Structure formats: structure tokens, C-alpha cells
Amino acid sequence: MALEKVGLATYRTSGVFVLGTGAVVGPKEGHGPLGPHFDRVWEDERQGHKSFEQAEQALLAEAYDVALQKALARWSDIELVLGGDLLDQIVSTNFNARQHGRPLAGLFSACATFTEGLGLGALLIAGGGMNTVMVSASSHHQTAERQFRFPLELGYQRTPTAAWTSTAAGAVVLGSKSGPLAVEAVTLGRVVDIGAQDPNDMGSAMAPAAFDTIQQHLKDTGQKPGDFTKIFTGDLGHFGIRMLTAYAESKGLRFGSELDDCGRSLYDAESQDTHNGGSGPGCSASVFAGPLARRLASGEWERLLLVATGALFSPTTSQQGESIPSIAHAVSIRARRGEAQ
């Protein structure tokens, strides 16, 4: 275990491993192109629970269970839970702590919460303080709709840039015990406000924040985008990725085919009518914990830069005409296939 600061804002972590991942998603996500790569797919959004809020908590609890099972760990091994969600007072994460009873540090970076947790967990372990940490993020389409938008049955037209909050939860057990994936480096992001005001277009609001963090990470570590097999942003979506590519190019950074986005990959835009693509903290969490981690573990991919992106507004600030501050946190992950584990 060691922690080394490189450049201005990046920390190289050694001796930090992904021991187990759990990804549990709703039916729509299960029918998407990534469906077969999640650990569990719910048959309906409620799964017999009294409210959608309780359903989201149960979704997260299942992700925790799967991650622990795969890590061959028990709750008593977990020294700290780092996690968050979209709901007011991050209730999904906080209420789950009633059951697991482990120390909890609740986080909020909106949809960037997952890499905030993953990064912090890696720093804590690399710094020699902790051995095993649980990281999680979740979201639920119906709970987010009622908090940020309209009642479900209300008819209205979504704009082409509107995101679809995913029903998804992802959990990762990080530890100092050797595992198939290693966390290499962490860059926590700055808040970037490009003046965007449309809550139905978070992709373009968040793209400059994603650029800021990616550029900082590349500069600090002396790499270029092509050094990664894949760079996955969180939920910029179809439009946000185009904006990121154009904005980065105007700043002299050129992405290739390695750039992709969790939200864009989660649904089939044509048949699932999801417009800009998936969003929500659970989006990047489940896409990493399911499909991306599998590709790394199988040796198909070697190195991944995961950059979850968050739009840090509330319905109140939006109604008051404030712009949308955004943030992105980057975590670099390497597959250890073939290395002595």
C-alpha cells in the first residue's frame, strides 16, 4: 500500500484492489444492450415494495449482497461504507445503514457520487488506514422523477436532450487484499459552471466538468487518451459526449474511439425511447460494477478511466434561475490478468 501525489491533483494508489462488484438494475435497464452483464435484473420497478423509495433501498441492499458474495466477505469485514444517491438526505444509502450497521460516510456528488466514493475509498486504503471499504451508488427512475420532475402519470413531452434516470444500483468492495482489478490513480474534480441553465440538458452542462477532470488526470500522470483501453464518462449521454468531444478539441485535446459513456450505453435509444440516455448515480455505478468490471476481469480490456459526472443543481435553484454547477471525479483502474496476484 502506498499513496503518492503526482502533479497538482492526482494521487497514485498502489495496493488497492476491487475484490467484488454487485450490479442490480430495473427491467428497462435489463432489456437494454448491457442487460445480460448485470448480476440481477428486477422484473418490475417496485418488486412488491410499498413505495418506490423502499424499492430503491432494496435495490441497493441487493447490490451490497452480491458484491459481498463475490468478494467472499461479510459485513463484519467492512470497515467503512462510502456511498450516496440522488434523493434528499441521501435516504437510500442512509436507511440501508440501519440494516448493515457498519460505519457510514454518506456522499453526494449527484451522478458523480460513485467515482467520488471509489476514489475516496482507494485513497483511504492506499494511505494505510483501512483494509476493506464498501463503495456504492444508487438511483431509481420513479423516485427521481417525483423529486426532480413530474408525477409519473402526467403527460408531457421530453426534449431530445432529456436524460432518463436509471433504476440501478452498483456496489464495490475495495480492499488491500489482492484482487483481479487494481485502482491505479484518483483525480477528484473541481466544480465547473459553464452557465448552462436547462435541467433537461445536463449532458452539455456537465461536459466541461468532465473535460476539466480528464485533462487534469492526463496532465498529472503524463498520459494521453489513447493510453487507456477505454475512458468512460458517467452520464453525458449522446449529446453530452458530442459536446465533450467538440469542447475538448477546441482546447487541444483529441479523443479517439476509447471515449464512451455509461449513460449512452445503458439503453437502446431507438427502441427504448430514452432520448439522451441513462443518468443517475446508479448509472455509472451499475455499468462499472457489471459490464465494465467484467470486461476488465476477463482480460478484454486492460485499463479503464472511469469519470462519473454530476450536475449539482436542485429543483429549487433551477426554478430560481441559477445555472447548473457540475463536477466529475476520475478513477483509473487496471486489469491484473497474468500478473502475480
Q: Which of 43, 246, 315, 339 binds another protein (CB under 8 A)?
A: 246
216 lies in the binding site for another protein (CB under 8 A) = no
Question: Residue 185: CB partners within 8 Å, gap ≥ 6?
Answer: 6, 10, 11, 12, 13, 217, 221, 331, 332
Encode burial over 32-50: b for 16+ CB neighbours within 10 A, e otherwise.
bebbebbbbbbeebbeeee
**Residue found by looking up cell 462510502 in the block:** 82
* Residue 115 C-beta: closest distance to another protein, Å: 23
Query: Measured between alpha carbons, how far is residue 332 from residues 91, 119, 188, 304 in Å?
Result: 29, 9, 11, 6
Please report whether residue 213 would count as binding another protein according to CB under 8 A.
no
Stretch that binds another protein, among 8-16, 148-156, 227-235, 299-307 (CB under 8 A): 148-156
Minimum CB–partner distance for residue 91 and another protein (Å): 14
**160 counts as binding another protein under rule CB under 8 A:** yes
Closer to another protein at the Cβ: 11 or 267? 267
Pairing status of strand 104-106 against strand 80-85: parallel
Binding flag, residue 50, another protein (CB under 8 A): yes
- CA geometry: angle 127, 128, 129, nearest 5 deg: 95
Mask for 176-195, x = binds another protein (CB under 8 A): -----------------xxx
Q: Give the total of residues touching another protein (CB under 8 A).
A: 31
50: its cell numbers: 410499498
Contact 81, 56 (CB under 8 A): no
Of residues 271 through 330, those in contact with another protein by CB under 8 A are none
Residue numbers of the site for another protein (CB under 8 A)?
50-53, 146, 150-161, 193-196, 201, 204, 208, 238-239, 242-243, 246-247, 250
